[in-house]
Structure 1
Amino acid sequence: MVVCASHSPGMERDVDRVFGTTFRTGLARASSIVREFDPDYIVLFGGDHRRAFRHVVPTFGVALSAGIMAEAGHSPGALNVPQGTARGLAEHLLDSGIDISVCRDVQLDHAFAQPLRDLTGSVDAYPVIPLPINCATAPLPKAERVLAFGDAVGRYLSGTGDRVLVIGTGGLSHSPPSLEVDTYDISDEERARIIAEGSAAARKKIKPAWDKAFLHASATWDREALARLTDSAHADAGAGANEVRTWLAAGAAGGGVPLEPLIYEPVEEWITGMAVAVSA
């Protein structure tokens, strides 16, 4: 089963749940579907916001052990990574011609934590294999290679006989001020300053037409259209739209079945076009 969902720090800060009510409704539906599916474990494709990977940035990674950093009022936590399965996946990917980096004890941010909390209730509800994709630090992988990565993951999963939930998280259109600047090693204080100064402008950078085109291509699993939209995402839909690479990888890992949109809502207060889609 595949679920793809947007994430946003703004959603975390909206503790009174004032904004994004339409999106939250769709997210709750996806959560119910996930709980009914009750997977053996989760394979989670996520990006990084130059937090876990600053000086060495893997294009594709397989985490053999990982935790969640303290963020947005949440305490740090450990992920239960099924190491044998993760190791087998890493070996399969290398044998398939997909160059990956093996990561140990990597501390991941809300790109991984938020979808786990939103869809399963907590970061440790199920075992999870985190698969980082570079969506933030140029040069980025081309969509064709992301799809090949997802295809190879799917071939491994199909041979396990396991009940697996595949998650892709990020996007859709948005341009966070901290990702618009080409810097890799800034303090949390400097990051906060950049975000605060650019937040008003970022609210106006959502591109609903691009989002809908991407969701339509996902719903029909039009690989050519998805690749075209992804490779031009930064120019057409903002720096944060590069995260749709995780949707491509997740969909491909799920066998390329159509991803049915449950909801779409552009939420200016969260500076993001928010969507949820599930495999049909």
Structure 2
Amino acid sequence: MSFLLQCLSHTPLKGYVDPLPDVVDEAGRMVATLRAEVEAFDPEIVFLFAPDHYNGFFLDAMPQLCIGTSATSVGDYMTSPGPLDVPRDIAEACARHVVAADIDLAISYRMQVDHGFAQPLEEICGSLARYPVIPLFINSVAPPVISFRRARQFGEAVGEFARGLGKRTLIIGSGGLSHNPPVPQIATAVPEVAERLIAGRNPTPDARAARQQRTIDAATVFATGDSPLHPLNPQWDEAFMANLARQDWAALDAYGNAAITAAAGASAHEVKTWVAANAAMNAATGGHYQVQSRYYRAIPEWIAGFAALTGVTA
């Protein structure tokens, strides 16, 4: 039984609004290194913590935490559409374990996932369905959102379950650090946008393309430095990564949601996937693991504090 942790930022803007070629190559080499490590590890099961961006989860019933017993990628931006390889029996057993740990968990037998799940599966695992995967959703865009403490507790429950499987286990956290792309909020949305936030599943190809183009246009402006969007915050990002590297759970639990939004942007709540993944690794290894920050760069073209972090058994 062995465990590997890989946390990685995702961005839908790769290939649409790119930084200088040297930066693209640098980030690409880092991702290739992570992928080589995953290939060498050859996981028997993957636990993937990731958010959604109003592509699979909507305000008709927005769970804070959800496990999929079956999942399909919607194929947004440049990710592939199609099914993930979700072992239903393991996902159901994981759900039972998490609920027994007093975590209020939703379960989906028809989960739809977007680039937040698909990009790490394709980039560091090789494809959507190369390895069996348990998809674990954390709401990161629709207030109210859970605390860092609750994300940690969720991750711990999943890690305890993973430890009992006796398999080579890859744990992934997928989320951008400081960033604030133009994700609409129900409190300020005009009626037609509010309806999409409530019940926007399975849009037409034209509607999806138009939505994606708005994000691409916003990134183009953001890269010029003349944008109303919240700026990236490298200092906040690096302090957060340092807390993970130190496994300073008290410091992480103390992060407040309002302070996260104010300092790092509304979508920085995606880092709760990193908190949950690290907590899962901590529980799975009994605390016997080491964390290494692998990469960090603020990339305005991708509207992201773009980063990677690895954890290996000590």
TM (norm. structure 1) is 0.92
Range with greater deviation from structure 2 (26-35 or 225-234)? 225-234
Matched, 1:239 2:266: yes
| Paired residues of 1:7 and 1:169 also in contact (CA < 8 A) | yes
Match of 1:164 in 2: 169
Runs of at least 5 residues in structure 1 that lack an aligned partner in the other structure: none
1:267, 1:181 → 2: CA distance? 28
Query: 1:43 corresponds to which letter in structure 2?
Result: F
Match of 1:138 in 2: 143
> Among 7, 24, 28, which residue is 1:4 paired with?
7
Matched, 1:35 2:63: no
Give secondary structure in 1 for the equivalent of 2:86: coil
Matched, 1:195 2:227: no
Match of 2:275 in 1: 248
Query: 2:252 corresponds to which letter in structure 1?
Result: L
Structure 1 segment 113-152 matched on structure 2, within 5 A: 113-152=118-157
Give secondary structure in 2 for the equivalent of 1:159: helix
2:209, 2:82 → 1: CA distance? 22
Distance 1:200 1:72, change over 3 A: closer
Match of 1:63 in 2: 68
> Among 209, 218, 242, which residue is 1:216 paired with?
242
Range with greater deviation from structure 2 (209-218 or 20-29)? 20-29
Aligned pairs, number: 280
| Paired residues of 1:69 and 1:109 also in contact (CA < 8 A) | yes
Match of 2:108 in 1: 103
| Paired residues of 1:79 and 1:128 also in contact (CA < 8 A) | yes
TM (norm. structure 2) is 0.83
Q: Find the structure with the greater CA-based Rg.
A: 2
| Paired residues of 1:180 and 1:239 also in contact (CA < 8 A) | no
1:115-163 per-residue CA deviation (whole Å, 9 max, x = no partner) reads: 0111011111101110000111000001111111111111111111111
Give secondary structure in 2 for the equivalent of 1:211: helix
Q: CA deviation at 1:179?
A: 4.7
Q: CA deviation at 1:270?
A: 0.6
Matched, 1:79 2:84: yes
Q: CA deviation at 1:181?
A: 6.9
Range with greater deviation from structure 2 (38-47 or 249-258)? 249-258
Distance 1:228 1:202, change over 3 A: farther
Distance 1:20 1:266, change over 3 A: farther
1:96, 1:194 → 2: CA distance? 41
1:175, 1:202 → 2: CA distance? 10
Range with greater deviation from structure 2 (189-198 or 65-74)? 189-198
| Paired residues of 1:64 and 1:83 also in contact (CA < 8 A) | yes
Distance 1:196 1:221, change over 3 A: same
1:129, 1:5 → 2: CA distance? 17
Runs of at least 5 residues in structure 2 that lack an aligned partner in the other structure: 197-206, 226-230
Range with greater deviation from structure 2 (209-218 or 228-237)? 228-237
Distance 1:73 1:168, change over 3 A: closer
Match of 1:178 in 2: 183
2:265, 2:255 → 1: CA distance? 12
